[in-house]
C-alpha cells in the first residue's frame, strides 16, 4: 500500500502529515482510523490529515497549533514523500 505524506520537524516539534480524501475529514471514525494509520506508518507523533479540493486547495485537520502553522505555508514547500507500507 502507498500513501503520500511528510514528516516535519519545526521549532522542536516533529509531526507527520498524511494526505487523504476530503471525505475522510468529514467522518470522525475515518479521521481516527487515518491518524492511527499515520502513527503506525510514520511513528508515534502528532499526525495532521490533509485533503485537497478540486482546485488543489488544502484543508488540514489535527492539532490546532500545527494546523495553524501549516495554513501559512505553501504546500509546495512541504517535503512530500510517497511511502510504502505492508498491507
Question: Tell me, what DSSP letter sits at residue 73?
Answer: S
pLDDT digits (tens, 9 = 90+) for 1-48: 899 999 999 989 999 999 999 999 999 999 999 999 999 999 999 999
The whole domain housing 28 covers 2-84
Q: For residue 75, what pLDDT band results from cuts at 50, 70 and 90?
A: very high
The strand order across the sheet containing 2-10 reads 58-61, 47-52, 13-19, 2-10, 81-84
pLDDT at site 1? 84
pTM as predicted: 0.93
Q: What is the CATH number of the domain that holds 46?
A: 3.40.1350
Structural domains counted in the chain = 1
The three grid cell numbers given for residue 51, joined into one nine-digit string: 485533503
Amino acid at each position: 500500500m502507498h500513501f503520500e505524506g511528510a514528516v516535519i520537524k519545526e521549532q522542536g516539534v516533529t509531526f507527520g502529515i498524511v494526505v487523504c480524501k476530503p471525505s475522510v475529514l468529514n467522518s470522525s471514525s475515518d479521521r481516527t482510523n487515518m491518524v492511527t494509520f499515520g502513527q503506525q506508518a510514520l511513528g508515534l507523533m502528532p499526525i495532521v490529515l490533509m485533503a485537497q479540493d478540486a482546485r488543489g486547495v488544502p484543508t488540514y485537520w489535527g492539532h490546532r497549533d500545527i494546523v495553524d502553522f501549516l495554513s501559512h505555508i505553501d504546500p509546495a514547500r512541504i517535503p512530500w514523500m510517497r511511502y510504502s507500507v505492508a498491507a
